[in-house]
Amino acid sequence: MGKATGFIEYQRQTIPDRTPEKRLKDWKEIHAETDFEKVRTQAARCMDCGTPFCHIGMVIGGMGTGCPIHNLIPEFNDLVYKGRWEDAYERLRRTNNFPEFTGRVCPAPCEGSCTLGVIQPQVTIKNIENSIADAAWEKGFYKARKPAKRTGKKVAVVGSGPAGLAAADQLNQAGHTVTVFERHDRVGGLLMYGIPNMKLDKKKVVLRRVKLMEKEGVKFVCNANVGTDPEFSAERLNAQFDAIVLACGATLPRDLRVPGREAKGVHFAVDFLSANTKHLLDTNFAKDSLPELNARDKNVVVIGGGDTGTDCVGTSLRQGCKNVIQLEIMSQPPADRAPNNPWPEWPKVLKTDYGQQEAAARQGADPRHYLVNTLNIVKDEAGNVKALKIVDVSWQKDASGRMNPVPVAGSEREIPADLVLIAMGFLGPEQPLLKAFGVEADARSNVKADYGRFATSAAKIFAAGDMRRGQSLVVWAINEGRACAAKVDEFLMGRSFLPMP
């Protein structure tokens, strides 16, 4: 490493986000402009640990640990410290198709397993990765890379989220003719409509990358409801393509099954977020213009935590809600690692994300309420939601040893609610597509296809991403898209030189 004592000399300093007061006034990315010299100093903290865990990409303690796509993090840290930005980009590009995506939205399991994190605050790996990608665009390192020759093989990729885009990018570089089918009006899947603009800019970041892929030869077809529309039936795709990759994500949301669920004003979080992003893009971010489904002047209750819940909080605040709170049935995580959560496991500690920061700045307090369960939804005479009946819970073991939430006696109460957003995660892929292609599902309703093979029960049809593994991270989707592409290439050509993550 260029600075063997860097981790001793320098303290961890992340690139700060714009202040909540400023960023709440617009839909621009929350991230402040990158200070590349500061990033170089942070890269010097990579400690030449000898046995780096940051890029192992394993599951330890039931959770992902280290980078799933095995970015060679110590190498690009060293190159950044030395100011060799183009070399750092080339090193990163070999393992990650879309560092501009992961550098913005990945929760950074690499940092959770950083060896320095055992004794000090870990290296700012996520900031460094994002800075490499931004520098590459700024300095013109990103260039259209067309394959030297075409194989004559045609591949259909169904779904344009991170798994589908990664598979398409890899297969195109292998020389195959790739067509990506997307059922929405814009390319990107989860990246376009599942993540708000303030976390991932759609025009500057997502569409910019899509346009580069188009220059490289990938064809995108939007408004294509594969398996349902006759024009895009499973039979037609089977006849037209030599291989098909299903990468449609786990888009079936988990519902809240309580009395009053049918009340007007109760929506899935994904519908709320998608409608807002589509409206912003359709109106070119027109000031004070809101979609029909909005939080303006409403008491908003978000049920569920995680990134989706946070996104609902941030979106509601920007739309001008009266108040927003977030209900979580689990207990509040500890401030530091618990004894049963040792390094290099993912640290299950309290994280205050951008949405909670913004709510605290505007409302004076963190919006999260822990150990709370929803009993029923209260409606007014017109059928609109007006309140939630909730109860505090404690987690206790039952006779079989399983932990269950037990209501706390006397804690039942009502809270006002004009808009309820259900952010309780996703159950799996939508089943009609599986039936259309005749592929088997596993016990969790995901497409049945072994990791490392990705072949489904149907001839020449493969599956990757959340559709195969269940709800997960963008970086795991990229891992699966890359690995699946290698197996499709091998299926088509007899062998493959594409890398397996």
Tens digits of residue pLDDT in 391-446:
999 999 999 999 999 999 999 999 999 999 999 999 999 999 999 999 999 999 99
Average pLDDT in the 256-264 region?
98
pLDDT digits (tens, 9 = 90+) for 319-363: 999 999 999 999 999 999 999 999 999 999 999 999 999 999 999
| CA–CA distance, 168 with 157 (Å, rounded to integer) | 7
- Whether the per-residue pLDDT at 2 is higher than 80: the answer is no
243-246 and 154-158 strand pairing: parallel
| CA–CA distance, 86 with 104 (Å, rounded to integer) | 20
pLDDT digits (tens, 9 = 90+) for 90-105: 999 999 999 999 999 9
Q: What's the confidence (pLDDT) of residue 188?
A: 98
Closest C-alpha to 222, from 272, 186, 270 = 186
| CA–CA distance, 248 with 464 (Å, rounded to integer) | 8
Closest C-alpha to 307, from 265, 358, 356, 271 = 356
Tokens of 441: 């599902």
**6-139, what's its fold?**
Fumarate Reductase Iron-sulfur Protein; Chain B, domain 2 (1.10.1060)
Tokens of 204: 């500057």
Q: Out of 60-64, 232-236, 410-414, which region has the weakest mean confidence (pLDDT)?
A: 60-64
pLDDT digits (tens, 9 = 90+) for 451-497: 999 999 999 999 999 999 999 999 999 999 999 999 999 999 999 99
Q: What's the confidence (pLDDT) of residue 61?
A: 83
- Whether the per-residue pLDDT at 279 is higher than 70: the answer is yes
Q: Just give the CATH number of 255-424.
A: 3.50.50.60
pLDDT band at 63 (very low <50, low <70, confident <90, very high): confident
Yes or no: say if 307 and 354 are a contact pair by the CB < 8 Å rule: no
Q: What is the pTM of this model?
A: 0.96
pLDDT digits (tens, 9 = 90+) for 6-35: 999 999 999 989 999 999 999 999 999 899
Element housing 64 (H / E): strand 63-65
- Whether the per-residue pLDDT at 175 is higher than 90: the answer is yes
Domains 154-251+427-493 and 255-424 share a fold: yes
| CA–CA distance, 232 with 222 (Å, rounded to integer) | 11
| CA–CA distance, 182 with 425 (Å, rounded to integer) | 22
Element housing 88 (H / E): helix 85-93
- Whether the per-residue pLDDT at 41 is higher than 80: the answer is yes
Amino acid at 385: V
Closest C-alpha to 433, from 161, 181, 145 = 181
Give the whole-number percent of the chain exceeding pLDDT 90. Answer: 95
Residue 22: which residues within 8 A CB-CB, separation 6 or more?
none
Yes or no: say if 472 and 478 are a contact pair by the CB < 8 Å rule: no
Domain residue spans in the chain?
6-139, 154-251+427-493, 255-424
Q: Out of 61-75, 207-221, 385-399, 464-478, which region has the weakest mean confidence (pLDDT)?
A: 61-75
Q: What's the confidence (pLDDT) of residue 146?
A: 95
**154-251+427-493, what's its fold?**
FAD/NAD(P)-binding domain (3.50.50)
- The chain-wide mean pLDDT, for the chain, equals 96
Phi, psi dihedrals of residue 377, rounded to the nearest 5°: -105, 125
Q: What's the confidence (pLDDT) of residue 1?
A: 65
Helix (H, G, I), strand (E, B) or coil at 81: helix
Amino acid at 466: D
Q: What angle do CA 358, 359, 365 make, to 5 degrees?
A: 125
pLDDT band at 48 (very low <50, low <70, confident <90, very high): confident
Please give the C-alpha separations between residue 83 and each of 37, 132, 354, 358, in angstroms, as whole numbers.
9, 11, 30, 35
- Whether the per-residue pLDDT at 197 is higher than 70: the answer is yes
Element housing 276 (H / E): helix 269-282
Q: What's the confidence (pLDDT) of residue 244?
A: 98
CA atoms within 13 A on the CB side of 287: 2
Tokens of 259: 């009395």
Yes or no: say if 261 and 379 are a contact pair by the CB < 8 Å rule: no
**Sequence-separated contacts (24+) of 226-229 with Cβ below 8 Å:** 226/158, 226/181, 226/183, 226/433, 226/436, 227/432, 227/433, 227/435, 227/436, 227/437, 228/432, 228/436
Average pLDDT in the 110-137 region?
96
